[in-house]
């Protein structure tokens, strides 16, 4: 049979099958195990030689789900608190499936006038939702790492201009190192981005006044005075990952504004604080920056992958990400080419999910998701405080709760070692997906609540599991 005919015949029955499978997958999200501790052993049987004759789509997809049932991780479910992982609203999930079915490519207007316009609309809505200036252009990327890359590439372009150089043309060789100033809260992705931008990982100068990494504002001030008008970049961390803490956004931006700085706000999840009157003050002043990073697959609850870079000056993006050839759209075409103001040319229609969820639930619906997660964090902190053997390590200001297992009578170093082993035991156990980290010198658990699906009983279960496994470890 001719190839096209073969695929066309397969599609009808496959739609029926996928319809059933999707229903099972989506309806099962609340109850599917969050992890499979024996995944490594199971996956020992996964690899095989490239099939000479394939098994067909129906069988391939069924097998895929069978493997997922025994070795997947239910990161969309209500008991995943590792890293900062959001859920997906029904509208976002549906729209994302449609984006895949349509195989839409919002590289440039001609490939999808709708998606291009939708991306602009969705970015405008996001700015409105998060209180960012309406005039800032933006671009959708894979996540906050890439958004930090876009924003800091724009910052580097600005810095080059200040030195009279177009860095995108000539590179940074021979130039002084671009000063990048931040607090101890600076995220690992910013450090990686500095490596990619030719500044180097060690280029970030951290001004820290306590063991937790909080900003030393006077130290930052002194450094800016010492720079004496030389251009520099200040990275403001609106939401850090170990305890959900914040740099003093307003003070930091105002200080930077008195000097010759580009101010970048990494608000991957923290900018969503703007949606609740309880937390909005934490990000006041972010709108005075020059660029901002926001993640969608975290607290907007759209499926992976989805992040947004906002930069005050379109020309900087156009210079940094210029992309031209005879067969490509004109650079000065009034219709936007997102592929020429961001790192990716070919790109998914991430805008479908963002547009659909904001259209479906609006400001009010998304504020409810944020309020829900704030409530869950407060509830969990209350459970921790009331549970013998658990110790709250920081009053949660947002959606991350820093705590540890502490049965009493142990020295700090021994407690750190116990919590590290307990972290491994929790992952081995598989009832919850949650990670450990450091808050200051101490080893802690740091569940992050960013999913509308998580209920109070889910997080109460986490407290009991940690106490149960902690007690069994302590017994040795």
Ligand X SMILES: Cc1ncc(COP(=O)(O)O)c(C=O)c1O
Q: Cα–chain-centroid distance for residue 262?
A: 22
Closest distance of CB 470 from ligand X, Å:
26
> Could you give the strand order of the β-sheet that contains 138-141, starting from the edge strand earlier in sequence?
138-141, 307-311, 291-295, 261-266, 232-237, 180-182, 204-206
Closest distance of CB 399 from ligand X, Å:
11
Return the number of the residue (290 or 295) whose C-beta is nearest ligand X. 295
Among 266, 290, 416, 458, binds ligand X (CB under 6 A): 266
| Residues near 257 by beta carbon (within 8 Å), at least 6 away in sequence | 263, 288
Among 105-113, 196-204, 262-270, 414-422, the segment contacting ligand X (CB under 6 A): 262-270
Question: Which x/- pattern over 298-337 shows residues binding ligand X (rule: CB under 6 A)?
Answer: ---------x------------------------------
Return the number of the residue (308 or 405) whose C-beta is nearest ligand X. 308
127: part of which helix (H) or strand (E)?
A: helix 113-130
Is 239 a binding residue for ligand X by CB under 6 A? The answer is: yes
> Could you give the strand order of the β-sheet that contains 436-439, starting from the edge strand earlier in sequence?
390-392, 403-405, 442-445, 436-439
Alpha carbon distance 417, 404 (integer Å): 11
Return the number of the residue (185 or 380) whose C-beta is nearest ligand X. 185
Among 29, 30, 57, 83, binds ligand X (CB under 6 A): 83
Residues 126-155 that bind ligand X (CB under 6 A): 143-145, 148
Return the number of the residue (96 or 266) whose C-beta is nearest ligand X. 266
Closest distance of CB 187 from ligand X, Å:
4
Mapping DSSP onto H, E and C, the string for 410-444 reads: CCHHHHHHHHHHHHHHHHHHCCCECCEEEECCEEE
Closest distance of CB 75 from ligand X, Å:
12
For the record, the structure tokens of 64 come out as 């895929």
- Coil, helix or strand for 397? coil
How many residues make contact with ligand X (CB under 6 A)? Answer: 15
Closest distance of CB 186 from ligand X, Å:
9
| Residues near 422 by beta carbon (within 8 Å), at least 6 away in sequence | 405, 436, 466, 469, 470, 473
Return the number of the residue (241 or 466) whose C-beta is nearest ligand X. 241
Among 268, 309, 318, 400, binds ligand X (CB under 6 A): 268
Alpha carbon distance 178, 170 (integer Å): 15
Among 35-43, 261-269, 315-323, 433-441, the segment contacting ligand X (CB under 6 A): 261-269
Return the number of the residue (186 or 418) whose C-beta is nearest ligand X. 186
Instruction: Compute and round to an integer the Cα radius of gyration of the chain.
Output: 24
Alpha carbon distance 271, 300 (integer Å): 11
Among 295, 319, 416, 458, binds ligand X (CB under 6 A): 295
Is 204 a binding residue for ligand X by CB under 6 A? The answer is: no
Question: Which x/- pattern over 43-82 shows residues binding ligand X (rule: CB under 6 A)?
Answer: ----------------------------------------
Max Cα separation, the chain? 75
Closest distance of CB 190 from ligand X, Å:
7
Q: Give strand pairing partners of 238.
A: 246
Question: Which x/- pattern over 170-199 shows residues binding ligand X (rule: CB under 6 A)?
Answer: -----------------x-x----------
Instruction: Report yes or no: 450 and 86 within 8 Å, Cβ to Cβ.
Output: yes
- Residue 288 burial by Cβ neighbours in a 10 Å radius (0-12, 13-18, 19+): middle
Q: Give the binding site for ligand X (CB under 6 A).
A: 83-84, 143-145, 148, 187, 189, 239, 241, 266, 268-269, 295, 307
């Amino acid at each position: 049979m001719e190839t096209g005919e073969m695929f066309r015949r397969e599609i009808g029955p496959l739609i029926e099958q996928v319809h059933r499978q999707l229903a099972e997958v989506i309806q099962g999200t609340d109850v599917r195990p969050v992890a499979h501790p024996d995944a490594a052993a199971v996956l020992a049987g996964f690899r095989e030689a490239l099939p000479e004759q394939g098994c067909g789509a129906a069988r391939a997809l069924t097998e895929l789900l069978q493997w997922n049932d025994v070795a997947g991780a239910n990161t969309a479910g209500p008991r995943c608190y590792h890293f900062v992982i959001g859920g997906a609203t029904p509208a976002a999930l549906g729209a994302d499936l449609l984006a895949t079915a349509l195989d839409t490519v919002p590289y440039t207007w001609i490939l999808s006038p709708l998606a291009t316009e939708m991306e602009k609309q969705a970015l405008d809505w996001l700015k409105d939702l998060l209180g960012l200036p309406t005039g800032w252009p933006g671009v959708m990327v894979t996540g906050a790492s890439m958004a930090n890359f876009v924003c800091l590439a724009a910052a580097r372009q600005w810095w080059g201009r200040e030195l009279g150089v177009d860095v995108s043309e000539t590179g940074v060789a021979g130039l002084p190192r671009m000063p990048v100033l931040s607090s101890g809260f600076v995220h690992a992705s910013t450090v990686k981005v500095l490596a990619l931008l030719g500044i180097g990982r060690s280029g970030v100068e951290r001004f820290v006044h306590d063991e937790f990494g909080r900003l030393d504002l006077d130290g930052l001030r002194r450094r800016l005075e010492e720079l004496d008008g030389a251009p520099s970049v200040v990275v403001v961390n609106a939401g850090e990952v170990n305890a959900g803490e914040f740099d003093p956004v307003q003070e930091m931006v105002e200080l930077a504004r008195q000097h010759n700085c580009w101010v970048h706000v990494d608000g991957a999840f923290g900018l969503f604080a703007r949606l609740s009157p309880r937390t909005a003050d934490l990000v006041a002043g972010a709108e005075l920056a020059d660029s901002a990073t926001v993640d969608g697959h975290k607290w907007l609850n759209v499926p992976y992958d989805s992040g947004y870079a906002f930069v005050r000056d379109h020309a900087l993006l156009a210079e940094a990400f210029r992309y031209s050839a005879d067969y490509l759209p004109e650079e000065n075409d009034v219709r936007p080419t997102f592929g020429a103001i961001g790192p990716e040319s070919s790109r998914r229609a991430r805008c479908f999910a963002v547009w659909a969820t904001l259209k479906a639930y609006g400001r009010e619906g998304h504020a409810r998701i944020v309020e829900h997660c704030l409530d869950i964090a407060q509830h969990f902190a209350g459970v921790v405080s009331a549970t013998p053997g658990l110790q709250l390590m920081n009053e949660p200001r947002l959606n991350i709760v820093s705590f540890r297992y502490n049965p009493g009578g142990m020295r700090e170093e021994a407690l750190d070692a116990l919590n590290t082993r307990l972290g491994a035991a929790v992952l081995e156990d598989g009832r919850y997906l949650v990670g450990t980290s450091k808050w200051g010198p101490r080893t802690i658990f740091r569940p992050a609540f960013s999913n509308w699906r998580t209920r109070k009983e889910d997080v109460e279960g986490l407290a009991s599991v940690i106490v149960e496994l902690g007690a069994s470890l302590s017994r040795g």
